[in-house]
């Protein structure tokens, strides 16, 4: 089976199979349906599938094999790489068993770049190209089509998929296969780091007597500012809503991917290891589905336990 990348790009009403209707996937698939694509969906949560189809006019796939057979393009948006592998190549029902010649796979999940390299090679051996295109921005930007999309893989295939990507956000081509997942791991390492650092600064300053809101305002007018201080603290931490829409457990998972990447490339990893350990402990204490901004609560609890 050969991949013909010279055919037209994927524009509406191209049929897209979308697997994964979680916080992010639901909003992303909805944007594609609203843009005129023919969307076929699958998810373990059948209630989410029924609700999505009722709201969007999409079709529920009878099986993963059927979804593959009906789709010119298949997008996976799943919690981690093992789930992606199972959906695409797992024993029994899977997407690839039904996939037609010329179809393209896009994995928009956050996965280990090391594992993605292996999966991509296995798929290519069966005649199918996979683009790894993880996203950043959370569920609110997913709903608004303002995600940052980090696409790794053959540039010609990425360009064929550009119309789809541009419905979802801003496209960046990161390089060869698995480079998108590598970029996502490094981005989330930095995102998690600035959240933890800002939290420690605000907790320490507050303990001394500084007003947290004044601190954040000054940080945002100074050199210590970051997305965490400019966005997460004013919106989710200071008001104590803690509802950014991204699970703490998912951030902990992404940091483990960052650790794996640093180890595979034999690069300095002191900060990555330290931060990953911190988030693992916070996840154990607060639970997988705690909002990632609740790391602030975890760090505050450490102060209280020492008093």
Kindly list the catalytic residues: 184
CA trace torsion 114, 117, 120, 121 (10° rounding): -130
Q: Do 123 and 105 contact (CB within 8 A), yes or no?
A: yes
How many CB atoms sit inside 10 A of residue 4's CB?
7
User: What DSSP designation does 247 have?
Assistant: B
Whole-number Å distance between alpha carbons of 45 and 210: 46
CA trace torsion 227, 110, 156, 262 (10° rounding): 80
Strand 169-175 to 15-19 pairing? unpaired
How many CB atoms sit inside 10 A of residue 171's CB?
18
């Amino acid at each position: 089976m050969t991949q013909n990348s010279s055919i037209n790009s994927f524009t509406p009403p191209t049929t897209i199979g979308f697997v994964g209707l979680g916080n992010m996937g639901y909003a992303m698939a909805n944007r594609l349906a609203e843009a005129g694509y023919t969307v076929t969906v699958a998810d373990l949560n059948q209630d989410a599938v029924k609700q999505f189809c009722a709201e969007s006019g999409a079709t529920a796939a009878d099986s993963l094999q059927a979804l593959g057979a009906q789709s010119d393009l298949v997008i996976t948006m799943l919690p981690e790489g093992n789930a992606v592998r199972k959906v695409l190549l797992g024993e029994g029902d899977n997407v690839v068993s039904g996939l037609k010649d010329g179809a393209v796979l896009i994995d928009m999940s956050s996965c280990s770049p090391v594992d993605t390299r292996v999966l991509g090679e296995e798929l290519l051996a069966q005649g199918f190209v996979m683009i790894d295109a993880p996203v950043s921005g959370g569920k609110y930007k997913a709903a608004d089509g303002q995600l940052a999309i980090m696409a790794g893989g053959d540039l010609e295939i990425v360009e064929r998929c550009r119309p789809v990507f541009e419905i979802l956000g801003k496209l960046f081509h990161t390089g060869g296969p698995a480079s998108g997942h590598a970029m996502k791991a490094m981005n989330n390492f930095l995102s998690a780091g600035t959240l933890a650092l800002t939290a420690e600064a605000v907790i320490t300053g507050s303990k001394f007597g500084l007003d947290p809101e004044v601190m954040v305002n000054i940080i945002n007018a100074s050199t210590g500012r970051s997305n965490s201080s400019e966005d997460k603290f004013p919106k989710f931490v200071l008001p104590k809503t803690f509802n950014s829409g991204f699970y703490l457990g998912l951030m902990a998972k992404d940091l483990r991917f960052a650790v794996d990447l640093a180890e595979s490339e034999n690069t300095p990893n002191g900060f990555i290891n330290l931060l990953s350990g911190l988030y693992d402990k916070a996840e154990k204490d607060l639970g997988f589905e705690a909002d990632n901004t609740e790391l602030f609560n975890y760090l505050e609890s450490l102060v209280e336990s020492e008093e």
